[in-house]
Amino acid sequence: MTISLKLRAWIREARSLTVLTGAGISAESGIPTFRGKEGLWKTLRPEELANVEAFLKNPELVWEWYRFRREIVAKAVPNPGHAALAQLEACASDFTLVTQNVDGLHRRAGSRHVIELHGNILDDVCLHCGKKSTEASGGAGPVPRCACGGPLRPGVVWFGEALPAGAFEKAAEASARAELFLSVGTSAVVYPAASLPLVAREAGAYVVEINPERTELSSAVDETLIGKAGEILPALLAERRAAIPTA
Ligand code: OAD
């Protein structure tokens, strides 16, 4: 993989960096993506599993699906792509990581400031009182219950739901002030997250996409680096580190 001279200059010099990640960054940790070649939505129907109507209709089925995914997440470990982003954060004074992922792998890799736009799969939220608890999958029965008696649901954002309060606003602000914006491992079709690279470009950032395939975003960015996040991000980190003066 070659890094263009332009990108080399941006990665070395950008004072403000914002990164948007999607399911593709966790693919190399063994967590399946939703779209793309082997995406989950090829064989499963999001309308039966990922919205509140589906949950009200068949909470057992929805819990079965989330427990299955929690098991995959629990066994997964961060990969070199996650690690490179955590280390990149340490080399930049203004760095924001925005993720659509619910797997918590960025924090486990050491990223400190992470905006989780779609929540976290290990959280539970009571459908009645709204109280949040952490992984009550221990909770007995096919549908775990809150202390108030209400059914618990996974603490993720489903289709048609609002994002966590303030999360998108913070992400949009960071995108608008970024000098360099990286869109990593996302098919860039789910809004409002998919608008962030466009917000950044509109405000003058150099926008780079990292993905093994071209996406709907490709024609709107400055560069698409075709390849895996776990290979490209460590190379960008090395470039950034090479620009840090040694004492
Ligand atoms: P998608 O599954 O839509 O897209 C994943 C992207 O990652 C695809 O474009 C793949 O080509 C790419 N990819 C695969 N392997 C990769 C690798 N090793 N390195 C880099 N990229 C790779 O995932 P998202 O865009 O995150 O929403 O999906 C957005 C939202 O749709 C998700 O947050 C979820 C889903 O329905 C909710 O759960 C609300």
Owner of token pair 């602000």:
173
- Tell me the C-alpha distance between 182 and 232, whole Å: 11
CB-CB contact of 192 with 27 (8 Å): no
- Tell me the C-alpha distance between 133 and 213, whole Å: 38
The pLDDT assigned to 63 comes to 93
Distance 214 CA to ligand 1 centre (A): 12
CB-CB contact of 221 with 227 (8 Å): no
Residue ranges in the chain whose pLDDT is less than 50 = none
CB-CB contact of 7 with 223 (8 Å): yes
Distance 163 CA to ligand 1 centre (A): 18
The pLDDT assigned to 2 comes to 85
pTM above 0.85, yes or no: yes
What's 29-42 look like in SS3?
Answer: HCCCCCCCCCCHHH
Please list the active-site residues: 118
What's 97-123 look like in SS3?
Answer: EEECCCCCHHHHHCCCCEEECCEEEEE
DSSP code string of 62-88 = HHHHHHHHHHHHHH----HHHHHHHHH
- Tell me the C-alpha distance between 65 and 58, whole Å: 11
The pLDDT assigned to 213 comes to 94
Ligand 1 atom nearest the C-alpha of 215 is 9
Which residues, listed in sequence order, are joined to residue 11 by a DSSP beta bridge?
A: none
The pick from 100, 208, 215, 236 for probing ligand 1's pocket by mutation, whose C-beta has the most ligand atoms within 8 angstroms, reads: 100
